[in-house]
Structure 1
Amino acid sequence: MNTGKTLFAQLMDFLPWTTFTRLVQQYGGDRYVKSLTCAEQFRIMAFAQLTYRESLRDIEVCLSAQAAKLYHMGFRQEIRRATLADANEKRDWRIHAEFAQRLIAQARKLYVGDSLAFELENTAYALDSTTIDLSLSLFPWAPFRTTKAAVKMHTLLDLRGSIPSFIHISDGKLHDVHALDLLTAEAGAIYVMDRGYLDFTRLYAVDQANAFFVTRAKSNLDARRIYSARTDRSTGIMCDQTIGLNGYKTSRDYPAHLRRVRFKDPESGKTLVFLTNNFTLPAATICALYKSRWQVELFFKWIKQHLRIKKFFGTSENAVKSQIWIAVSVYVLVAIVKKRLNLDASLYTLLQIFSLTLFEKMPIQQVFAGSGYTSEHAVDCNQLNLFAF
């Protein structure tokens, strides 16, 4: 008995398809297309991401096994791997890139009121990158090492909701620090970075934009102490100092004072030294901000689980970038669904559950017992009322 839409179709209903259609028209994505439109290509690739498919053949076999449900999932015809491979090769990746950016803007509005694990009024971002290794023989357009190819994904993650606000895909040779040149610093925002971004010229530009940064100091930092604030060492804060740079070049690159916070982790015993241009936040908050960087690592972990070598469905630059941007769109889509349906589960838990239930015909909220969500609308879309008079 048909009791409604499949979970996959319900997820796709959260997407702004009018915007997608406009982008397809802008880039001529469906020009001269007789079968498998850009919208269907997106649905298939999204399905592959959600269900951890490993190849084009895997996608074809999986969907063929559920041929009776394809129409209800938004597919007008059976899926052929050759047709999908051709679409990934030729449909402009910028359609999916811009669509992902529209979803990101939508998701950030939903999460703007979320609180962090610590008290903070500023917008906080974590900046990092991940390298996706490729085979040089299959991906010659992305040289990295002498015998390796790679693409690098530079990401600025909004720590409220773990939503990426900026993504740049480059070849593997682009150094992390150059990603700072691609960003326009937001006044009042805090950018959390590891030591790979420690470039005092670029950090001073962030400071001059009235934004803040938190990063790790290198062991060879040449600096002088100007002032020491009182600290409670029982909290792990060993020192909280105002410093000036001594080096001839570094003192010219960053002529202002910096704040240095030394923290000893009571659990691991490891000592970390942080640098920041924010002199008002408590030292404990500076440490907590840096610790929150783990969110961007979790984001990369999910992306890499979907983008291993065997899971690329094409070898051209267009195919690889299309797949990466569709993967980002799926991640953000799940974040939107979580917020709109008030689902009490992490994004990673949601993704795991969706991977097993996409063919089920039940309301999304029923899959997550105890979520606290109740729908204001009837959910049995196609169920007749047997007791109507």
Structure 2
Amino acid sequence: MGIRGGIARNTLSNANKVRDWRIYADFAQALIKIARPLYAEEDLGLDLDNTIYALDASTIDLCLSVFPWARFRSTKSAVKLHTLLDLKGNIPAFIHISDGKMHDVNILDILIPEAGAFYIMDRGYLDFERLFTIHQTGAFFVIRAKKNTSFKRQYSHKVTNEDKLKGIRCDQTIVLAGVDAKVNYPQQLRRIKYYDSETDKTFNFLTNNFIVPAMTITQLYRYRWQVELFFKWIKQHLKIKSFFGVTENAVKSQIWIAVSVYVLIAIIKKRLKLKLELYTILQILSLSLFEKNELNQLLTNSEYNNDNDDSSKQLNLFDLTLGH
């Protein structure tokens, strides 16, 4: 490709400053359109044909003196990466980069719900007016209730002994009791109370789906942690904590480039039917970028040791240290 030596950091900084970040955003979206159908038949181990999304946001801290345009608090700057992850393949279906001051729940005003899909969210997204908008589009949500959520029980559904042993404590039809909440969400909700014996914690889930078994609802919430693993992966392996450029355009460009790399590797993995972890593929490609070898030969014949990659480890089912 004509590269004969190291590239100065200033060169990359200038490039990121002048090239519109939307170029990289459009490229990432094009890759996402290719990747998602490749993983559409992935088995999540749930008896559901619906598309399942996990929604969350991750804050990327910046130095206030260097990135004053992204002021977050009095002493620091930050940008926030809002991501809707398609859990079949863990491919980002929607990404929005905002300043750090944007509250997570406000992303629901931008998001266009997909009828029939499940949206898995933590309680930071608990806004009944916005949740009712999702309900009206024919989509489903599963979200944790807050401790002060006021409601009235209308009906208790039968919980089998098997489900009780697995942690289901109750499965109820409720209506909200708070004055504003009753107006914002005037219809019934389903409340499922779950006890996690490993952490000795009890969780209350709210959903607008009354058909899926209660145990499946708790399992759906478990998969929400895949979006946390996505954030961890791109921060750890694609270096979006350190930026080549200090302008808003430079930061957004680098984040979208990182997303493009992640999705491109996911495409390669699926098309070549590789059993390698994404990080392993990334490492092989980064070491062999300018070698004239076919990808299939390069990746299938490699004996690369992946002992240092811990990004695939499953987090605890309800590890509150990463939640809202």
What TM-score, normalized to structure 2? 0.87
1:249 and 2:159 matched: no
| Residue of structure 2 aligned with 1:210, choices 120, 138, 145 | 138
**Alignment partners' CA distance in 2, 1:353 and 1:262:** 46
User: Which is further off, 272-281 or 347-356?
Assistant: 347-356
Report the counterpart of residue 139 of structure 1 in structure 2.
Answer: 67
Report the counterpart of residue 210 of structure 2 in structure 1.
Answer: 279
**Alignment partners' CA distance in 2, 1:354 and 1:175:** 37
Q: Is the 8 A contact 1:343 1:365 kept in 2?
A: no
**Alignment partners' CA distance in 2, 1:93 and 1:233:** 51
Kindly report structure 1 stretches of 4+ aligned residues shifted beyond 6 Å.
none
| Residue of structure 1 aligned with 2:117, choices 186, 189, 208 | 189
1:122 and 2:53 matched: no
Report the counterpart of residue 162 of structure 1 in structure 2.
Answer: 90
**Alignment partners' CA distance in 2, 1:75 and 1:255:** 64
**Alignment partners' CA distance in 2, 1:368 and 1:80:** 27
| Residue of structure 1 aligned with 2:30, choices 83, 97, 102 | 102
1:219 and 2:219 matched: no
Identity of aligned residues (%): 60
Report the counterpart of residue 228 of structure 1 in structure 2.
Answer: 156
- Within 5 Å, give how 1:163-182 maps onto structure 2: 163-182=91-110
SS, match of residue 69 in structure 2: coil
For residues 64-102 of structure 1, what are the alpha-carbon distances to aligned partners after superposition, in whole Å with 9 as ceiling and x for unaligned?
xxxxxxxxxx34665542333221111111100111111
**Alignment partners' CA distance in 2, 1:328 and 1:75:** 25
Q: Is the 8 A contact 2:12 2:245 kept in 1?
A: no
Letter matched to residue 190 of structure 1: F
Q: CA RMSD in A?
A: 1.8
**Alignment partners' CA distance in 2, 1:228 and 1:349:** 49
Instruction: Quote how far apart the aligned CAs of 1:270 are.
Output: 1.8
1:303 and 2:303 matched: no
Structure 1 residues 353 and 272: CA distance shift in structure 2, 3 A: farther
Question: Which structure 2 segments of 5+ residues have no match?
Answer: 303-324
Report the counterpart of residue 328 of structure 1 in structure 2.
Answer: 259
Q: Is the 8 A contact 1:243 1:258 kept in 2?
A: yes
Q: Is the 8 A contact 2:274 2:300 kept in 1?
A: no
For residues 306-336 of structure 1, what are the alpha-carbon distances to aligned partners after superposition, in whole Å with 9 as ceiling and x for unaligned?
3454x21111111111100000000000000
**Alignment partners' CA distance in 2, 1:348 and 1:241:** 43
Report the counterpart of residue 288 of structure 1 in structure 2.
Answer: 219
For residues 194-239 of structure 1, what are the alpha-carbon distances to aligned partners after superposition, in whole Å with 9 as ceiling and x for unaligned?
0010000000000000100000000111111111111131111111
**Alignment partners' CA distance in 2, 1:93 and 1:368:** 31
What TM-score, normalized to structure 1? 0.73
Q: Is the 8 A contact 1:154 1:179 kept in 2?
A: yes
Task: Tell me how many residue pairs correspond in the alignment.
Answer: 297
SS, match of residue 278 in structure 1: coil
Letter matched to residue 122 of structure 1: N
**Alignment partners' CA distance in 2, 1:352 and 1:121:** 34
**Alignment partners' CA distance in 1, 2:222 and 2:14:** 44
Question: Which structure 1 segments of 5+ residues have no match?
Answer: 1-73, 372-389
Q: Is the 8 A contact 1:307 1:324 kept in 2?
A: no
Q: Is the 8 A contact 1:223 1:245 kept in 2?
A: yes
Report the counterpart of residue 295 of structure 2 in structure 1.
Answer: 364
Letter matched to residue 253 of structure 1: N
| Residue of structure 2 aligned with 1:258, choices 189, 214, 219 | 189
1:86 and 2:22 matched: no
Report the counterpart of residue 269 of structure 1 in structure 2.
Answer: 200
1:342 and 2:273 matched: yes
Letter matched to residue 116 of structure 2: G
Structure 1 residues 254 and 75: CA distance shift in structure 2, 3 A: farther
Asked which structure has the greater RCO (Cα within 8 Å, sep 6+), the reply is: 1
For residues 227-280 of structure 1, what are the alpha-carbon distances to aligned partners after superposition, in whole Å with 9 as ceiling and x for unaligned?
111113111111111111111110111000000111111322221111000000
**Alignment partners' CA distance in 2, 1:197 and 1:75:** 49
| Residue of structure 2 aligned with 1:198, choices 126, 134, 140 | 126
For residues 76-135 of structure 1, what are the alpha-carbon distances to aligned partners after superposition, in whole Å with 9 as ceiling and x for unaligned?
665542333221111111100111111111111211122212221101100100000000
**Alignment partners' CA distance in 1, 2:108 and 2:279:** 29
